[in-house]
Amino acid sequence: MEVPKAEVLTPILRKDAGKKPKRRTGKGFSKGELEAVGLDFKRALKLGLPIDKRRKTVHEWNVEKLRKYLSNITGRKE
């Protein structure tokens, strides 16, 4: 299975104040998202997951991606 990629929201500029932000591919998952699924930093690196140390946000759609990916990995080993 392919390694999931994190999605982040585009920044809201002053000229686009009334519009909804769109999702785009980010550099990696935040520490909070990894902790939400029970992964520590070193284990995530061993699994080959991209990590963005600067991000502080926790997006639910990224947490779901990680849960799905981890369930597929553990399902294969059993």
47-76 pLDDT per residue, tens: 999 999 999 999 999 999 999 999 998 875
Banded model confidence at residue 78, pLDDT cuts 50, 70, 90: very low
Instruction: Count other C-beta atoms under 10 Å from residue 43's C-beta.
Output: 11
Question: In whole angstroms, what is the distance from residue 48 CA to residue 28 CA?
Answer: 11
Distance of alpha carbon 12 from alpha carbon 31, whole angstroms: 23
Confidence of residue 77 (pLDDT cuts 50, 70, 90): very low
DSSP-assigned letter for residue 15: G
Q: pLDDT digit string (tens) for 3-47?
A: 999 999 998 888 888 889 999 999 999 999 999 999 999 999 999
Mapped onto helix, strand or coil, the DSSP state of residue 73 is: helix
SS3 (DSSP) at 25 = strand
